[in-house]
Every structure is written in C-alpha cells, then in structure tokens.
Structure 1
C-alpha cells in the first residue's frame, strides 16, 4: 500500500464511525421488523406478545427509511469531506459531535415511543393518526442534529474555498454541500408541520390541524428525502467506483451539473405523491408532475457517465467490440460488484418511478403494494447495496484494518443473497400491486376481501424474499463487526478517482450559490405558494373544522 495514501484524520474517523454504529444497529432492528412484517402479510404467521402489525410497520419504516439512511449518510459525508477538503477544525468537529448526540437522543426517544405502541403512525405519520408528543419531539431532534452536523461540513467547504480562491472545490465535498443544502431546505417542511401543528396537537395545546397541509408539508420533505438517500450513492458511482475499477472519472463537470439539477428538481415535486387527494387543484398537480419528469435528465446523465467510465476502463485494457469492456470489470471485487447489483436494480426501479409519477398511470398503482416494491428496488437495493459497497472499504479505512480476501468473498455472497431476496420480494410486490393488493395492510385487514385469494401466493413470495433478505442483513452485520473489530490491522484506501485526461475544464459557475439557490427558491415558490394558500383558505372536501394553527 502506498505510503503517500491520503487518510481521513483519526479524530474525524471516530466521528464518522459513531454515526455508522447507530446506522447498523438500526439495520439489525429495522430488518427484523421488516421480516416480521412480510411474515404477517403472508397470513401464515401471527405476531407474539401482543405486538401490533402497525407497530412493526412503523419500526421498519422509521429505523430503515429515516435512521439507518440519515446516520450512514452523515457518517460517510463527514469522512468524505475530511478526506477531500482537509481535517475538520476543532470547533467544526465539536459541532459534529453535538449534532450526533442530538440525533441519537432523538432516535432513542422516537424508538421508545414506537416500541411502547404510542406511535404506530408509520414513517409518514399522517394526521389524523396521532402519536405521543415524544415521538414528534424525537423526530425534530433528529432533524436538528443533522442540521448541526451539516453545518460543520459546509463550514469545512467554506474554509477550503477561502484557502483556494478561483479553484473548483473537491468533487466529493461539493456533492456533500449539494446534498446537505437540499436536506436543509426539504426538512423545513416537516419541521414546520411537526413544530406548529402535530406536536402542539399531540400535547393538547390545539384541538385540530389541517390534515391536507400536514400531508403536503410531509411530501414537500418526503420526495427530496429520496434524493437525500440517492445522492450519496451517486457520489460513490461518480467518484469512487471509477477508482475502484482502476479507471478515471469521465467528467467532473457532468457530475457537478447533475447534482445541481437534482437540487433544483427534487424539492418542488412533492404533490405527485398526492395525485389522488382532493383539495389540490389539478393544474398544480400537473405542474409538479412535469417538474418531476425533469429529474430524468440528471438520472440519464448519471447512467451515461457510469457506462462511459466502464467503457473507458475496458478500452484501456484492450477491450474491443460493443461490450468487450464488460469482461474487463473487476468481478471479484466486492467494492464494485455489490454497488453494481444496485445500479442494475435502479433501472427497473427508475421505470417504476416514472409510472408512479405519471398523472394517469398513478391511478392504477396508488396506495397498492406496487409502490412498496418500487421503494425496495430504489432505496432498499440501489442505495443500500451501494452503502454496503462503501462500508467494505470505509470501515477498515477508518478503523485501521483491511478488507481480507475471506471478507471480500463473503461480501460478494451477501450482495448476491440480497439481490436474489429482493428480486423475489419486490417482483411479488409489483405483481400483487397490479392485482390491487393494498400497502400498509396486514392479512387480518384484507383477508376477507373477495380478491384476496389472488394476492396470497404473492404475499407468501414476499415472505420468502423477506426471509432471504434478513439472511443478507445478518451477513452484513457479520462483515461490519469483522471490519470494525477483528480484521487484520493495516491500511485500506479511501478511493477517489482522478478526472480523465481529456475531460473539459470545470467552470466556476457551479460554485456560484447565489444563482442556484435563487432558482431553487423560485421553483419552490411557484410550485407551492398558491396550493398551500388554497389549502389554508378552503380546505379539502370534508375537512371543515380543521385549521392551520
């Protein structure tokens, strides 16, 4: 291993690892809840000890959809910023630790309320379902803690810019700033909903809330949440995977532009999750559907860049023909293979997303388990397998250990197990959804429906796939523990690719935040101002009596 290897500062590494510990605890607990959930849906299993199905469902969604992802992303981004733009200052590192503590306290509060069955409101926590006040307060602390940690990352970026005027910032740091800026703006919606409506309502300070406003503010946050999950995976796909395979980045400029487009087009599109809801004018739904489809542009840019990286590497190794480069890829390296499985899963996942966001086709799949299958292809496969691929080198890099040949082989097996389990479970979800099977429902609630007999084989298949996935979680936990505590001491690289020699020069306009933030704010105001005013003034049919405050 090269003696000139750039390593993450040991103090920053401890901060990053603290986040990863919580993330993998959430993976274990949330994964168990997911297994129980699929078993119950099959109609072949009943929960013991009086545990409620919606309690398990909420545990699964909150721990995996919110806790695992947020803590992993924050830990990865702390390491990425430290690696590429320099060690954090003492003040920034202290802020990072304060943010971690606040997030962890909030997570513990939220989890306790769910386990006590005081917050079985799913991860969307739609009103008029009501949770204990500590659930809402805990979620608020998780968000506030992430703001504090994100502020530390941005402070490091600002410090680098001041020390390097006129130069484009390190690509991973730039991508982190984009992701945190999107997170800051998106979480304002859920923070307003919780602090000014749901929390006072739960405490009994107010009698009613405007249900449609709370749902709209959630999806103002909920859709960019998907990209908050996705962009760290894109960081790995753009910058880390090319280095892992032994190649270079196709284009630094394309990567930055795609991230800016995700920032602009991911937030003002939440109404496409509410296409069947009354009280929102169809014109504004249509506007947001159009904006949603604009996200296809940076997604296709990313796909093009990825396969350009692969082909450039293959050609450099002497590959010929249209797909000759495919054989040259490192198929025995888990750091590449496992994220690659995620990339492949993202193709049908993206196609399903187009259906979900379509004004007409959404009517067929809305509120069916098709949507759950879509989420499991995108977030639970493309994103999570990429996070696992990051773990294989990031954890040993931070702990001063190495990824051994045995752990590498186990990691490939883990990725294949996950892929097979998800193929079975997600396919069954998609098919059952097309047959009308509802999401968020247990066998006891839909078992008497006339068409339920048609759903049962696919619900059983979901249980089989979910069981295989749980095996994949066990294998991942074993790998994480080994790389953290038992792997041989040594040096593992934090791979960051160089830009291809013939790539165009990166223009500094990408660092002009006045332009991008102004466009972002304008798009949000256009997409949301009138709809929310109408919700407050008129309210949807049947919601008279609900008020904003």
Structure 2
C-alpha cells in the first residue's frame, strides 16, 4: 500500500487497480451524459412547438430519461469515480477488500441503472426523476432505483473504510482534507437517501406490485424531499472539493485555511438535510410552523457557502499578489486564464452567484408563490447542477482522466476545453435565462407545447420557448465537444504523467482543531436537527392521513 510518507516524496500515481475502478464509474457517467443530453435537446425542441417526437415516443418519456440519467446517474457515477481516486491518492491505495466492496457497489448500481432505464425506454416508467405518486411506474423501475441507492451505500462504505484505516494509523492527526470531505459527503448521502429508500421499498414497490391499492401521497413526497434537497449538496460538495483543494494547487497557490474548509463541510452536513419542506411550501397537510422552521434551516446553508467564497477568493488574491499584482483587483489578471483546469471550474463558480440568489427566492415563502411549479425552477436547476456542478466536473475530468489513464492533456485539447466551456456558458445563458423570464410570466414546468400551445397566454411564451431550443441546441454541441475531449483523454492522448493536484495548506493558516473530526458531536447534532424538524410533522401525516390516492399511469 502506498503510504503518506511515500506520497510526500514527489509525483504520486493512483494505483492502477483503483484507477480501473474509478474509470469504470466515469465511463458510465459520460454515457449517461450523452443519452440524457440528447433527450434534453429533444425536450426543448418539442417545447418550441416546432418539433414532434417520432415513433410514438412521448414527451414525458424523454423528460424522465433526461432527469434520471443526468440528475441521478451522471452525478452519482462521476462523484464516486472522483472520490475513489481522491481517497486513493491522499489516504493510500485501497486494500483488496475495500476495492472488492467498491466493485460490488459499482455492479449493484449498474444493474439498477440498466433495469430502470429499460422500463423508461419501454414507456413503463414515465414518472420523471422525482417519480411522484400518483404517477405509477413498473415495479422493476422502482427496484432498479433502489439498487442504485443500495449500490451507492456499498461503494461508499469502501471509501469510509479507507478513512477509518487512516485515522487508526495516524491517531491525533487531521486526516487528508479531501478524504475528510469525501466522508462528509458520503455521511450526508447515506443519511438523506434513507428517506427515498423507505419511500421506494415500503410504499412504491408494494403499490406498483398491486399488494396495496393506495398510498399516502403526502408522506411519499415528504420522504422524497427529505432526500431531494440534500441531493443538491451531494452534487455540490464534490465541486467544493475541487474548489477548496485542487484549484489552489492549479493556480500555484495554497489552501487558505484547512480548518475553515472542514467547518464549512460540517455545516453543510448538519444544515442540508432537515430542509425538504421548502420544496413543499404550497402543499396542505404540513403545519406552517414546520415549513417556517425548515426555511430558516435552508437559509443557514448560506453561511458555509459564504465561507467557501471567502476562502477561495482569499487564495486567489494571495496568489495574485505573490505574482506582483497591484490594486484592488489586480490579482484577477494574474490567474491562469489559459488553463482549462482552472477556467472551466471558475465559470462554474461564477454561475453559482445567480444560482444561489435564485435558490434564496425558491426557498422564500412569499416569492416561492410566484415561481412555484413554473419553468423558473427548471432554469434555476440548470444553473446549479447543469452549470456550477457540471462545469466543475468537466474541469476535473481534464486532469483526472489523463491521470488515471497515464496520458496528458495536450495544448490542443486544453484550448478545445476552454472553447467547450464558452459554448456551454453561451447555451446555458440563453436557455436558462429564457426559462427564468418566461417562468415569471407563469409558464409551467414539466409541460410540453401541446399542453398550452393553443392558449392565448401561450402566444407570449413562444419566443422564450424558441430561445430555450436555441440554447439547448448550443448546449448539445457543448456535450459533443466534451465527449470528444473525454474520448481523446481516455484512448488517444499521448502517454505521459499528469498530476493529481492536491493543494498544500498555507503556512499562515491556523492549526486545525481536532473537534472538527469528532464525528460523535457532528452526527449527533445532525440527527437531532432531523428529528426536531421531521418527527412531529411525519407523525401528524400518518395519524391524519387521508383515505389515499389511487395510482394512475401517465398516458
């Protein structure tokens, strides 16, 4: 096993066996990007009113494919591929047992992905990625999604085992920062995904098999959103890992503060889960006090977000001034604007400013009444996941894949990667901007053109729907470009050594207090907040459950 001492001596290559496991996840992620992205293109073309789907394919069928493959499969697989490599690089090569558990998790997730995908393609599961009841899918779809979750738990256990092993071998020392961040993200994921697992196993599967003819719809939606909003942070925290740990190394600087980074991640852990009610502000059956409480907890997430912004820009400014920058913003010019490994994630960071502002609107009770269930929400979703997170993942892929394959990112591919990011930004600005604007006019989400195409009000929406089609088309060109770059890095780039960039902490940073790795304290706070926010409302839902809703398929 590669030790930390050995790593300190110079260039360290992730073990080939661990690299193979990480790459397996990355392969699936980019396959999902292509298929899901194609369905996204078809969606915006249909909504423009200028295109009709062939061969009996339905709009909700491609909407489900798009949401499931990009929102759940692309993200989960890329995150796990990245995290496996990060843990192996910083905490040491996985043991044979840990690696075997990782492979079991991968194949369990993949079996579930294939099963669920087949049902969607057969139009037996056109229930969108939220799979709300009373929309009903074939039971195989629900079993497939359950396998994806269970497989992620198994794969996550392997990464946590390596962290525990490192802590035992290095008592009293802070663990490698990025490994610590991985474990925080996995802890959050396992805790929050228990909600959707309970929904699927105890409600949706028995219902879809006909064992029961009714389920409590409000409870099922509450269990989903217990999971659904932390899911956003499950996507976001790996991007934060890149920002905190990798980007400082790429720009030639250092991590501003190890302690601040760990604190922000622990705050995300405790505040990201008991907030699902802010997605249910318009739903009856939930007392207004509990909605208010969870909105307050939602706003608390602003704190670690601001800590992150402060830390990142402190690293940028310090490095810029080391390079001779003068004036208030002179450091900005000193950043490596010709390096795709920096430029692509930086665009994602910049997009998070309007995305975060939109999130505050979504979570605010009064403003939520204006945009709830409009396509504004879809536009917001595409700024957070499809821009901030996805562009950061692309930027990470440009050094992660060649590191794992023993290749290099050439100047030509680096230049093309920057072009790809610009294409993506232009396409997303047009599409998401149009979604935000027409959402304020009341245009609904989850609806094709045929739903409202004949109404008088819809005539005012058509230019914005066409703009979405234009932006979506540009985005699909961006997908083709990134797939070309990824294929080149996987199989055709010149052989060579590519660094897995891990930043060093500034010598001026305060010593990291070990209380930040006292899991008993943080997990206790997390669980207590969850129990406080959910216990009474859920008991009330069960005790005062309506007769129930019979399930209908979406034709």
Same fold (TM over 0.5): yes
1-side partners of 2:59 and 2:424: how far apart?
A: 24
Find 1:233's aligned residue among 233, 239, 243: 239
Is 1:436 paired with 2:442?
A: yes
Is 1:544 paired with 2:550?
A: no
Is 1:19 paired with 2:22?
A: no
Find 1:204's aligned residue among 169, 193, 210: 210
Find 1:59's aligned residue among 62, 65, 71: 65
Q: How far is the alpha carbon of 1:204 from its aligned partner? A: 0.7
1:448 alignment partner in structure 2: 454
Find 1:316's aligned residue among 322, 328, 338: 322
1-side partners of 2:455 and 2:113: how far apart?
A: 37
Q: Any idea what the Cα deviations from partners look like across 1:463-521, whole Å, max 9, x if unmatched?
A: 00000000000000000000000000000000000001100000100110000010001
Is 1:306 paired with 2:322?
A: no
- Aligned residue runs from structure 1 range 70-219, under 5 A: 70-219=76-225
2:5 alignment partner in structure 1: none
Q: Any idea what the Cα deviations from partners look like across 1:82-134, whole Å, max 9, x if unmatched?
A: 00000001000000000000000000001100000000000000000000000
Normalised by the length of structure 2, the TM-score is 0.97
SS of equivalent residue, structure 2 residue 378: helix
- Aligned residue runs from structure 1 range 343-358, under 5 A: 343-358=349-364
- Aligned residue runs from structure 1 range 297-446, under 5 A: 297-446=303-452
2-side partners of 1:314 and 1:289: how far apart?
A: 38
1-side partners of 2:97 and 2:202: how far apart?
A: 32
SS of equivalent residue, structure 2 residue 328: coil
Query: Residue 275 of structure 2 contacts residue 295 of structure 2 at CA under 8 Å; is this kept in 1?
Result: yes
Q: Any idea what the Cα deviations from partners look like across 1:345-381, whole Å, max 9, x if unmatched?
A: 1100000000000011000000000000001001100
SS of equivalent residue, structure 1 residue 255: helix
2-side partners of 1:170 and 1:33: how far apart?
A: 40
Find 1:280's aligned residue among 280, 286, 295: 286
Q: How far is the alpha carbon of 1:450 from its aligned partner? A: 2.5
SS of equivalent residue, structure 1 residue 360: helix
Aligned CA distance change for structure 1 residues 469 and 5 (closer, same or farther; 3 Å): same
2:256 alignment partner in structure 1: 250
SS of equivalent residue, structure 1 residue 361: helix
Normalised by the length of structure 1, the TM-score is 0.98
2-side partners of 1:306 and 1:441: how far apart?
A: 39
Aligned CA distance change for structure 1 residues 424 and 536 (closer, same or farther; 3 Å): same
1-side partners of 2:428 and 2:180: how far apart?
A: 33
1:471 alignment partner in structure 2: 477
SS of equivalent residue, structure 2 residue 366: coil
1-side partners of 2:14 and 2:319: how far apart?
A: 27
Superposition misfits of 4+ residues, deviation over 6 angstroms = none
Find 1:531's aligned residue among 520, 524, 537: 537
2-side partners of 1:468 and 1:253: how far apart?
A: 41
1:501 alignment partner in structure 2: 507
1-side partners of 2:39 and 2:521: how far apart?
A: 44
SS of equivalent residue, structure 2 residue 214: coil
Aligned CA distance change for structure 1 residues 115 and 329 (closer, same or farther; 3 Å): same
2-side partners of 1:318 and 1:4: how far apart?
A: 28
Q: How far is the alpha carbon of 1:546 from its aligned partner? A: 5.4
1-side partners of 2:455 and 2:115: how far apart?
A: 37
Is 1:492 paired with 2:498?
A: yes
1-side partners of 2:54 and 2:415: how far apart?
A: 37
Root mean square deviation of aligned Cα: 1.0
Q: How far is the alpha carbon of 1:3 from its aligned partner? A: 8.5
Q: How far is the alpha carbon of 1:206 from its aligned partner? A: 1.1
Q: Any idea what the Cα deviations from partners look like across 1:51-70, whole Å, max 9, x if unmatched?
A: 00000000000000000000
Q: How far is the alpha carbon of 1:545 from its aligned partner? A: 3.8
Find 1:4's aligned residue among 10, 32, 36: 10
SS of equivalent residue, structure 2 residue 464: helix
Q: How far is the alpha carbon of 1:207 from its aligned partner? A: 1.3
2-side partners of 1:274 and 1:450: how far apart?
A: 30
1-side partners of 2:244 and 2:312: how far apart?
A: 7
Unaligned runs of 5+ in 1: none
1-side partners of 2:461 and 2:362: how far apart?
A: 21
1-side partners of 2:401 and 2:9: how far apart?
A: 19
> How many residue pairs get matched?
543
Q: How far is the alpha carbon of 1:448 from its aligned partner? A: 2.3
